[in-house]
Amino acid sequence: MRTAKRGKVFAAGAVLLLALLAIFFVVQFFSQTRYLVQAFEFNVELSWSGRGNTVIFIPPFGEVRAATHWRPLALKITLLNVDLDQLTATLSSINDDSLLLESQIREILTRFLGRCTLLTVLGGALLALFIWRRHRLPQILATGLASGALFVGLIYTTLLHPYNINAFNTPQYTGALTAAPWVIDLVDDTVSTLKNLGVQMETITTKLYHLSEQLEKVRPSDDGHELRVLHVSDIHNNPVAFDFIEKVVETFQIDLIIDTGDLTDYGTPVESELVSRVATLPVPYLFIPGNHDSPRVVQKLKEEGALVLEQGTIEIEGLRIAGIADLSSADSTLAVAAEQELKEAGRQVLAGFLEEPERLPDLVAVHHPLVGEPFAGQVPVILSGHTHRVQVGEEKGSFLVNAGSTGAAGIRGLQSPQDNPYSMVILYFVREEQERPRLSMADVITVHQYQDVFSLQRHYRR
């Protein structure tokens, strides 16, 4: 009797031990699984941990972790890939699909835990089979079932039942994501401000126009039919910039807009949705790609009706314009080319014009000022951006204009708003019969962020 009891106790202990080993090995080595939810592809895995954390790993930026449940398991989610085209569609219908997304996530978690449970059952059975071979089928089945039951109990009591999603209200960040709390606070603080700025731009623009009229009384512009060109640059995803542009176009009766690049920050399809604002503008929009503008952004601009000038010449309202796209706009690298490469790009285009001087443009538009540098003394007007610093001056008889940043440097400008005003330049060209259009003056407009401070500086062509 005692021997039989001892045998049963030993068998039960062996089953329990093998079940625990099965759980250990499955969690340690076999829990990782890949899933796809709409635009996101990610791995989900369990691991042994001294803290009951949920860890979201976003390479290469770092981790977000929160103490969501009890030890000894940690739940880790690693983002592998984002389908940007799918993400654009998801964001545009997020209100309609939020319940669907929630159900998909719940379904994936159920499948993940179900898979892990099945693996522990099989793992326990295989371990028992290895120990007892086929001679003790009941113990083998018992070990498999015990493994699954213990795993389900462990998951429910330490993870599912105590799980607290609100722990992510006070998460811990590592890597570059340590800046995330600052960014979140920044967005919370500035969204309402940006909305107010959009409204304030209308009032500011009206005041700027009245100021322009007063300057006209002091020194009237040259006689002749006037062509008004608005030079903007470096919008960097700031929607307020388009509010500003729309008001200036309407109030100052602009005939043409020239944008010298960096409409976006990373050139992704999500960012390019801002491009749709171009279609609402009542005048031609000529775009010269910058180093932050990818081929996708350029294509989206073309679809929205913008005139994209990557390398070539176009004549609008009698004004002959040459454009040279930034070297980095050919791909999505964002890197700024070396100084010599930039200058050489300008020199090559200029050499082509000098072979046929009658083809020389009235205006050259580039993103990086170094590309336009070789044209000084050869072309009357040179437009550029990139530096986020508005500048107007003359060199070798050429009028050099840098529009600064019409988007106030985007999200980066929010870090130091006092150094990054909204800026743009209005160019006034005089058109006379049988003469090429010539620049008579330029108005530099700046509006400082979060302040009721704006200015209009008029520069006359000497």
Query: What pLDDT does residue 187 have?
Result: 45
Q: Tokens 């840098």 belong to which residue?
A: 402
pLDDT over 60 (residue 226):
yes
Strand partners, 56: 64, 77
Q: Are 304 and 267 in contact (CB under 8 A)?
A: no
Q: For residue range 352-408, list pLDDT tens digits in order.
A: 999 988 899 999 999 999 999 999 999 999 999 999 999 999 999 999 999 999 988
Helical H runs in 74-179?
A: 84-92, 94-132, 137-155
What pLDDT is recorded for position 182?
Answer: 47
- DSSP symbols for 195-237: HHHHHHHHHHHHHHHHHHHHHHHHSPPPSSEEEEEEEE---TT
Helical (H) or strand (E) element with 41: strand 40-48
Q: Which residues pair with 78 in a beta bridge?
A: 43, 57
3-state secondary structure of 42: strand
Alpha carbon of 379 to those of 129, 150, 361: distances in Å? 86, 80, 7
Q: Which residues contact 451 (CB under 8 A, 6 or more apart)?
A: none
Distance in angstroms (rounded) separating the CA atoms of residues 398 and 393: 8
Q: Residue 194 and residue 191: Cα distance in Å, rounded?
A: 5
- Does the pLDDT at position 134 exceed 70? no
Confidence check: pLDDT of 186 > 50: no
Indicate the DSSP class of residue 43.
E
CB atoms closer than 10 angstroms to residue 357: 8
Minimum mean pLDDT range among 55-59, 215-219, 329-333, 452-456: 215-219
3-state secondary structure of 29: helix
CB contact at 8 A, 313 and 321: yes
Mean pLDDT of 170-194: 56
- For residues 324-330, give the mean pLDDT: 90
Distance CA 425, CA 406 (A): 9
- Average pLDDT of span 411-417: 58
Domain limits of the chain? 2-170, 190-460
The C-alpha atoms of residue 18 and residue 145 are separated, in whole angstroms, by: 11
Query: Of the ranges 234-243, 378-387, 402-411, 418-427, which is most confident?
Result: 378-387
Q: Kindly state which CATH superfamily the domain 190-460 is placed in.
A: Metallo-dependent phosphatases (3.60.21.10)
User: How far are the Cα atoms of 211, 268, 274, 294, 424 from residue 264, in angstroms, in the given order?
Assistant: 32, 8, 8, 9, 17
Identity of the residue numbered 114: G
Asked whether residue 183 carries a pLDDT value surpassing 90, the answer given is: no
- Residue 321 or residue 62, greater confidence: 321
pLDDT of residue 394: 94
Query: Does residue 48 or residue 222 have the better pLDDT?
Result: 48
Q: What is the pLDDT of residues 255-289, one digit of tens each?
A: 999 999 999 887 666 566 678 888 899 999 999 99
